[in-house]
Each structure stands twice: as structure tokens, then as C-alpha cells.
């Protein structure tokens, strides 16, 4: 899901900076001091999950867990994902510093969408809606990111059209895997820490 250094055009990079800055600003405003440990744990999970890469042209396929981060963190997923991606770029040269903000938006915005979807489908938090909405959040997180990565490439140049299509297709099995992982995590959390799913979150 990381777009490599030197691929994107200047207008796309600038748009990524503006959109990510807005998302991070909203996320930081909504992050209470007591939630910092939770954000740190989820950022670590995101960091580790996306270390195993399968190269696909100018991008790559891997687990992201942004759907799970989104339904637990909401807008706070923006700063959490930005930190995780920055560490990966600095320590392992995944993605790049110039494409950091675009990569962050591509993964964080679908996470926020997952947050709202999860609360839309879960009014009573029964087992079946938890499984369904958890799976949906995992799928939407990956599907949304794949489409945003494809859009970033296509708006840079038509030469990337084939690579953009390949990225979306290659992430179809990843969507199913992420959906299953997210659904299992949500069911598990509902048993041991249900307050994480039912608590009031700053919209």
C-alpha cells in the first residue's frame, strides 16, 4: 500500500500534505491524554502488520489493519498511522518521506470511514452485527486504501493505469483476510474489553 519515493507528481503530493494535515489536526484535537497508551499499542500493531510486503509495481500489498484502527480510534487514526508510516520510511525505507502524507491519507481516511460504518451498524452490539460490521470495516479499510492508491497513481499519469488496476485486484484477497482478522478482534474485544466498543467517542 506504500507508494514509493519519486513516483507521484507535485500536485498529488501537495494535496496529500493538505488533506493529511487536516486529518492529523482533527485527530490530535480528539485525543485525550488517557488514550495515548491505546493509540501507541494500535500504532505498533499497524507498524508490525505492514512490514511484510509483496511488491506490486510502484506500490506493494500487505496487511494494514486500518479498519480495526479506525473503528477503535476514529479520527485519531490519522496521527497514529502517520507516525507508523514515518517510522517505516525512516527505518526500513518503505514508501518515502516525500510520499509520506499521501500514503498516510490513503490508509487513514478509509479508517475513519470504517469508524462511522461500525457505529452505524452497531446500535445494540449483539454478536451477529459485531461480526458483520467488523468484517465490513476490515474490507472497507483495504478496499478504500487500494482505490485511493490507484487514484493517486492515475492522477499522476496515465502510464500508471495498469499498475493502479493491478493494485486493486491484488488486494482483493487481502480484503477478505483483513475482514476476518478485524471481525475476530472485535468479537474478542467485546468479551474482554467491551467498553472499547461502546464508549462515547468524540465525533
Domains of the chain: 10-198 (1.10.1760.20)
Q: What is the pLDDT of residues 126-143, one digit of tens each?
A: 778 888 888 999 999 999
Tens digit of each residue's pLDDT, the chain (203 residues): 678 888 899 999 999 999 999 999 999 998 888 888 889 998 998 888 777 666 666 656 678 889 999 988 999 999 999 999 999 888 887 778 899 999 999 999 999 999 988 877 765 667 788 888 889 999 999 999 999 999 999 998 888 888 888 888 888 888 888 899 999 998 898 888 877 776 665 55
Cell 480484503 locates to: 175
Label residues 159-176 b or e (16+ Cβ within 10 Å = b): ebeebbebbeebbeebbe
> How far, in Å, CA of 195 to CA of 123, rounded?
14
Amino acid at each position: 500500500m506504500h507508494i514509493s519515493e519519486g513516483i507521484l507528481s507535485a500536485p498529488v503530493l501537495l494535496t496529500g500534505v493538505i488533506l493529511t494535515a487536516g486529518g492529523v489536526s482533527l485527530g490530535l484535537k480528539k485525543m485525550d491524554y488517557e488514550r495515548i497508551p491505546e493509540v501507541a499499542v494500535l500504532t505498533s500493531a499497524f507498524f508490525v502488520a505492514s512490514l511484510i510486503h509483496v511488491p506490486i509495481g510502484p506500490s506493494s500489498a500487505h496487511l494494514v489493519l486500518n479498519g480495526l484502527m479506525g473503528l477503535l480510534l476514529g479520527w485519531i487514526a490519522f496521527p497514529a498511522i502517520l507516525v507508523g508510516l514515518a517510522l517505516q520510511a525512516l527505518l526500513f525505507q518503505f514508501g518515502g518521506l516525500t510520499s509520506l502524507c499521501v500514503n498516510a491519507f490513503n490508509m487513514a481516511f478509509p479508517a475513519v470511514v470504517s469508524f462511522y460504518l461500525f457505529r452505524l451498524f452497531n446500535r445494540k452490539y449483539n454478536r451477529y452485527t459485531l461480526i458483520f460490521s467488523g468484517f465490513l470495516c476490515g474490507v472497507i479499510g483495504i478496499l478504500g486504501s487500494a482505490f485511493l492508491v490507484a487514484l493517486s497513481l492515475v492522477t499522476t499519469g496515465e502510464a500508471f493505469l495498469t499498475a493502479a488496476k493491478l493494485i486493486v485486484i491484488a488486494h482483493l484477497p487481502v480484503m477478505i483476510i483483513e475482514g476476518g482478522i478485524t471481525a475476530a478482534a472485535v468479537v474478542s474485544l467485546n468479551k474482554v474489553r467491551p467498553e472499547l466498543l461502546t464508549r462515547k467517542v468524540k465525533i
